[in-house]
Amino acid sequence: MKFTIAQGSRQGPRPYNQDRLAYSYHRHAILMVLADGMGGHQHGDVAAEVAVKTMVEAFQRESKPLISQPAEFLRTQIVQAHEVIENVRLQKRLMESPRTTIVVALIQHNKLFCAHVGDSRLYHYRNGLVEHQTEDHSVVQSLLREGKITAAEVDHHPHRNKIYNCLGGERPPKVELTPPIPLREGDVIMLCSDGVWNTVPEIHMAQHMLAADINDGVSRLLDDADAASITVGDNMSAIALQWGQRVVSPLTISTLDLPVDVTTTMMNEIPASSSPYGLDLTDEEIEKAIAEIQEALGRAQQHIK
């Protein structure tokens, strides 16, 4: 595999950043994940961080050397991330469960597998055009799909920011899976939070993803989103990957050069939270919550056998 990849996040006008994102890869597969903590509930940043770290840890644990059933892996691990968030709520004795959206991309055998919950999006660009994008689990998208509102009404609808499907809370998420997509030379995969797609016109997003240097494209995309969110807006985050053998950037990654047993992971560094809720969650606590869910699942599977 040969690709270039870049990610970035901006706080925007919000008092703190609740977005979390990461990518991880080894010789045979790549995982990208982005989560947007929901500001209408306490500790959205914690939910997002738990979700991202749960997915990355699962990828590192199970892709040896490949994920045998990619779609089932994505669905199962997203549901487990939801359960880990609930486990954290119990450990910390929180009054309500933290909540987050999530979008995940897995690439192996030159195919893209995608899953999402909520309104964080994946865009697949080919020749500068949108080949595929995920559909938001939002109230306005449901109304649009049912023909109750027009596309022109979406941007100004009073419920435009309401979603009905997320990680965290009483109900388990309904994970939407995208059928596998064979990748072609020059394809670009971009994951972003609603702070990006809500503020940057789609044609400008596509133009940025055409950049010869994808790192520059992501930076300019976030600059546009930041400029459009000076007083009213959201956190804004994006990961983009440019696929193919003809990529010539000095940042190009060729996994053929990697040792078989080496995995590289990049978690986007988010400044220390200034959340008014003041919940500190260490990496050790997250790992403990993940391990407890894994142990419970192992006991359940043994009981079934």
Domain total in the chain: 1
DSSP element (H, E) containing 290: helix 283-304
- Is the CA virtual torsion 125, 130, 136, 140 positive or negative? positive
Domain region containing 128: 2-304
- Mean pLDDT on 12-38: 94
Q: List pLDDT tens digits, range 26-74.
A: 999 999 999 999 976 678 999 999 999 999 999 999 998 899 999 999 9
Cα of 8 vs its chain's centroid, Å:
12
Eight-state DSSP code of residue 212: S
Write out the two tokens for 283: 């990496």
Q: In this structure, what DSSP letter does residue 256 have? A: G
- Please report which confidence band the pLDDT of residue 303 belongs to, taking 50, 70 and 90 as the band edges: low
First to last CA, the chain: 39
Per-residue pLDDT tens digits for 234-265: 999 999 999 986 655 666 777 767 776 788 99
Helix (H, G, I), strand (E, B) or coil at 3: strand
Kindly state the DSSP code that residue 205 receives in the 8-state scheme. Answer: H
- In sequence order, what E strands does the chain have? 2-10, 19-25, 29-36, 102-108, 111-117, 121-126, 129-133, 176-182, 188-192, 236-243, 253-254, 264-267
Q: Say which CATH number the domain at 47 has.
A: 3.60.40.10
Cα(46)–Cα(192) distance, integer angstroms: 18
